Structure 1
């Protein structure tokens, strides 16, 4: 069996000096195996399938083929359904957590990313065919993006909620609540910064997510799963699938337990197809929006896209001995 099929990721063999005789010894390298991230665990695809991931375009040869990087899991429809089950199970606890706590958790993710910066710089450079300096800028921007959304978790309610003037002796208060399980099609061209930019606002507002990684560059997304698993994000809040975007997205768009879908990584034809499928259970749909530069500071649109508004009426009046209005 060739090294390429026997091992998942190519690396150079390490050389070690024998302290006794000074002779060089070669040791087997520890190869990295990329897996899905579902329910806080790292399963292989249910189908057992994989597909080859190669370097980005600037590193490709004259025929447009890049160097082989790894075999990524090729997710099946069953993997997609399992991810939805995990996301639904995690939704109650995550949505019920305080906004301040969610902010702390997101900041912890940024801390963990900072500690693994060099790994992500290498993976982004390979995935997108960037120089190390440009890849480093993308990774730094992604870490900053996590921090930015961490700061918004306990502030978005004040921006989109509030008291409403009504005729009558009532308080009328509107407050935002998360939509539920959101399917996120990660951008195809920006494998890491684009992914963070569409994922972070979804979970910052209390939703849980099923993410379909960039089809041609899934490795940074799969490595992000390792960061999430070692941070404070509860299992199931984020679930990451890799494979053929159209194949995985179709069952998720039609899934009755998915409440919303972000089509950032879909082309026009696929977006239209998924939007039709999503109409069956009245999913919220965020259509693809052209983004020339993911490093630009985002607004709050992606946070408000997957929020519902709850309005509460309460009679005004004096407080009784119990302290409640009557």
Structure 2
């Protein structure tokens, strides 16, 4: 081959376009077969397996007595799951379970209650990813914001658990009297408490109203957020596998007006927290009037309780306690 022909061949090779990131001409690049690329599109889409939750009553998971369920959607209207719609019979059953559990729970030592509640916090931490996803879907938050809400809820639970054996020291005490007597005041749990959880804060607000009720020895019938009940129903699954005795917490999802009216009028419910009716002043007044017929202790909804990340203080701990004063003669 002459020098002229060799130079012409070298120029032709240099002029050929190169493959990105390689020294080979584009003509030598290999491509994925069209049949292989198209194969991915032939994989059928999976059918959504949506969960149908159950109530949590007496440590068990019964279906609603009425058999009703309702669709739970996320902030964009997408269908997430089915939640049971509680009936009046379900509410009555929950009160019976709460009353049955009250003696053992209130009779346990405060230190033991604190240990049990701390165990719940450990389990919540282990299911952090699940609660983060549920809170994000329910409240339309980013994953980071929902994770911050879940972390705050777990911290709030631990904070209240720590109060179990300290609240008596803050509220109780010895009273000075004029005479040869001891006069001692100690806090006692109120009894069965109906709790209407906040509508907008599906997990942090829920923990903020539930934990102070049970840490002080009360038992609870909880009505979670009507539009976002999934974090509460998942919390019930945590409680069922923890050391919390059955009946201490009972969870009734459904229509707040329907379930709340039954609990407010129930003769064996000792107190009711109307926080979940804050967005409906008319409903709050109706429930308060129904509770007045049987002299229930009522915690009215407060407008300031919109920022659940704020310091909760001790007001909720004290709202479901009664002071018992005992006189003892002094030995001479």
Give the alignment's TM-score, normalised by structure 2. 0.84
Q: Is the aligned partner of 1:298 residue 2:312?
A: yes
Where does structure 1 differ by over 6 angstroms across 4 or more consecutive aligned residues?
A: 24-30
Q: Which residue of 2 aligns with 1:282?
A: 295
Q: Which residue of 1 aligns with 2:322?
A: 308
Q: Is the aligned partner of 1:44 residue 2:58?
A: no
Deviation of 1:293 (Å): 1.2
Deviation of 1:295 (Å): 1.0
| Matched ranges for 1:159-170 at <5 A | 159-170=170-181
Distance 2:203 2:163 in 1: 21
| Matched ranges for 1:179-194 at <5 A | 179-194=190-205
Deviation of 1:32 (Å): 2.9
Deviation of 1:34 (Å): 1.0
Deviations 1:195-250 (A, max 9, x none): 00000000000000000010000011000000000111000000001010000000
Task: Say which structure is richer in helix.
Answer: 2
Q: Which residue of 1 aligns with 2:230?
A: 219
Q: Is the aligned partner of 1:208 residue 2:240?
A: no
Aligned Cα root-mean-square deviation (Å): 1.5
Q: Which residue of 2 aligns with 1:273?
A: 286
Choose which of 233, 250, 261 in structure 1 pairs with 2:261. 250
* Secondary structure of 1:281 counterpart: coil
Q: Which residue of 2 aligns with 1:113?
A: 124
Distance 2:306 2:289 in 1: 27
The structure whose Rg is larger is: 2
Deviations 1:146-182 (A, max 9, x none): 1000100000000000000111000000000000000
Unaligned runs of 5+ in 2: 1-42
Q: Which residue of 1 aligns with 2:4?
A: none
* Secondary structure of 1:104 counterpart: helix
Choose which of 272, 275, 282 in structure 2 pairs with 1:261. 272
Deviations 1:12-34 (A, max 9, x none): xxxxxxxxxxxx99998865331
Q: Is the aligned partner of 1:98 residue 2:88?
A: no
Distance 2:230 2:86 in 1: 14
Distance 2:139 2:92 in 1: 29
Q: Which residue of 1 aligns with 2:184?
A: 173
Distance 2:92 2:316 in 1: 25
| Matched ranges for 1:67-106 at <5 A | 67-106=78-117
Distance 1:237 1:292 in 2: 27
Choose which of 9, 15, 34 in structure 1 pairs with 2:53. 34
Distance 1:269 1:134 in 2: 32
Give the alignment's TM-score, normalised by structure 1. 0.86
Q: Is the aligned partner of 1:145 residue 2:159?
A: no
* Secondary structure of 1:233 counterpart: coil
Distance 1:83 1:134 in 2: 34
Deviations 1:111-147 (A, max 9, x none): 0000000000000000111110010000000000110
Q: Which residue of 1 aligns with 2:25?
A: none
Distance 1:253 1:131 in 2: 36
Deviation of 1:310 (Å): 0.6
How many residues align structurally? 287
Unaligned runs of 5+ in 1: 1-23, 61-65, 319-326
